[in-house]
Chain A
């Protein structure tokens, strides 16, 4: 079995579109949540989201190419290019044949879908743009990443709602570890802040009206976000041979399904995924210093996840640092696991724990150390990044210091 390392990180996020901007805002707990811009809000009551700002597609793609690219593909491509550049990886013809591209995504090209439906149903347009379908298919983003970078190895999309990004990275990790490919470009992308999807989320009655306060007693629900994070994973041997920078080592991947409720977290199911990731990483609960939690800022998640951490970590939960990045990033669904994997890898790299933003008051049902509002420097040996999706689909990654 190969050892697998993270050598490149690229992000497009509500707090910046470079790795460095992302990390500095995350550490400063400066939230990317703000008033919704650029989308007509007169059909709903939600006024806030964590949107990607300062993203001009024409800076990255020419006008002709853009007609093929939904916003979720644009994010994935920009993040993938940044990850490959960050890894100083030359994807030669030979390397490209042995590189995988695996991208997590929950909702597909919702902007294209929403605009298309509006044209047909509201504007009574007799026809849609001929590229509507190749733009909105949920595999469009990874297809465009493959074409953009010339990647010719195993390439596909992973869809598991809010765990998509984590499942995608886990899948890529397993392929590199077992030697199927020496290199993988992987991560998650989402851009589904449209009138249609926001209406759907409103109907679930879980959106906050002001901001996202994970693990805080004063929480009022989740805030939708968008973005992408992409990574270069490669065998440690391959990375060392070319003197590549190494952010962290990927040690383990755990998965489970709850077979229970369609939306509520199941503590046993979540704990099983965490334990399975620890077993896969061949480490014990006491070897983990930091968990980047799913932490959506809903009562159901935060209390359930805390209980699951107690089950999975036992007495070691007491000394564990746990933080959620969603107070800063919002919940970007299929991209969330990937953006949080970036946070976790960078935490190990910088030996700094990014805080839980917007934390106001302790909740008696959430009794762990949530690193409230202020980042903390601490020696971090191993860290965990968790995703618990609607449908009870759980995915957990364990990373070690490089």
Chain B
């Protein structure tokens, strides 16, 4: 499952910008996303995919998932994190 389109839609909706402005390489900070915007995006993603993203304001653009540090800067980064957490959720469900 490719989550990129959903991720783009949620970011666009949170920032109130047209989804066309978002490519995989677009950085959240260049869109003017401030800390509260970012946690709203995180919340939107968690609600949409029923996952928990261990994002902390003080860790800036990094998220630690299962001991692995992952970047949280671009649309692609965010999609990668969501993808990983969704896959982990599916695996947990299957087992």
Is there contact, CB below 8 Å, between B57 and A221?
yes
What CA separation (Å) do A261 and B57 show in the bound complex? 15
What CA separation (Å) do A206 and B59 show in the bound complex? 10
Among the listed stretches B4-12, B15-23, B31-39, B80-88, which one makes contact with chain A, having 4 or more residues with CB under 8 Å of it? Answer: B31-39
What CA separation (Å) do A208 and B56 show in the bound complex? 9
User: Which residues of the other chain, A, contact B55 by a CB distance below 8 angstroms?
Assistant: 205
Whether, in the assembled complex, B43 has its beta carbon less than 8 Å from a beta carbon of chain A, the answer is yes
A214-263 at interface with B (beta carbon < 8 Å): 219-221, 261-263
On whether A263 and B58 interact (CB within 8 A), knowing A203-B43, A205-B42, the answer reads no
Count of chain A residues near B, Cβ 8 A: 15
Is there contact, CB below 8 Å, between B58 and A219?
yes
Interface string of A179-203 (1 = CB under 8 A from B): 0000000000000000000000001
User: Which residues of the other chain, A, contact B36 by a CB distance below 8 angstroms?
Assistant: 261-263
A306 to chain B, nearest CB (A): 15
Closest to A222 in B: B58
Whether, in the assembled complex, A204 has its beta carbon less than 8 Å from a beta carbon of chain B, the answer is yes
What CA separation (Å) do A219 and B42 show in the bound complex? 22
Interface string of B18-56 (1 = CB under 8 A from A): 000000000000000011100100110000000000011
Most chain A CB within 10 A, of B34, B39, B56, B60, is at: B56
Is there contact, CB below 8 Å, between B58 and A220?
yes
B46 to chain A, nearest CB (A): 10
Closest to A208 in B: B58
What CA separation (Å) do A300 and B56 show in the bound complex? 12
Interface string of A284-328 (1 = CB under 8 A from B): 000000000000001110000000000000000000000000000
Is there contact, CB below 8 Å, between A205 and B34?
no
Whether, in the assembled complex, A133 has its beta carbon less than 8 Å from a beta carbon of chain B, the answer is no
Whether, in the assembled complex, A97 has its beta carbon less than 8 Å from a beta carbon of chain B, the answer is no
What CA separation (Å) do A205 and B91 show in the bound complex? 27
What CA separation (Å) do A220 and B60 show in the bound complex? 11
Whether, in the assembled complex, A91 has its beta carbon less than 8 Å from a beta carbon of chain B, the answer is no
Is there contact, CB below 8 Å, between B39 and A204?
yes
User: Which residues of the other chain, A, contact B35 by a CB distance below 8 angstroms?
Assistant: 263-264, 300
Closest to B38 in A: A205
Is there contact, CB below 8 Å, between A221 and B43?
no
What CA separation (Å) do A19 and B57 show in the bound complex? 35
User: Which residues of the other chain, A, contact B42 by a CB distance below 8 angstroms?
Assistant: 205
Most chain B CB within 10 A, of A205, A221, A298, is at: A205
Is there contact, CB below 8 Å, between A300 and B43?
no
Is there contact, CB below 8 Å, between A299 and B39?
no
Is there contact, CB below 8 Å, between A299 and B58?
yes
- What are 14 of the A-B contact pairs (CB < 8 Å)? A203-B43, A205-B56, A206-B56, A206-B57, A206-B58, A219-B58, A221-B58, A261-B36, A262-B36, A263-B36, A264-B34, A298-B58, A299-B57, A300-B35
User: Which 3 residue pairs are nearest across A and B when measured between Cβ atoms?
Assistant: A205-B57, A221-B58, A205-B39
Further contacts, 17 of them, CB under 8 A, given A206-B57, A220-B56, A261-B36? A203-B39, A203-B43, A204-B57, A205-B39, A205-B55, A205-B57, A206-B56, A206-B58, A208-B58, A219-B58, A221-B56, A261-B34, A263-B36, A298-B57, A299-B57, A299-B58, A300-B35
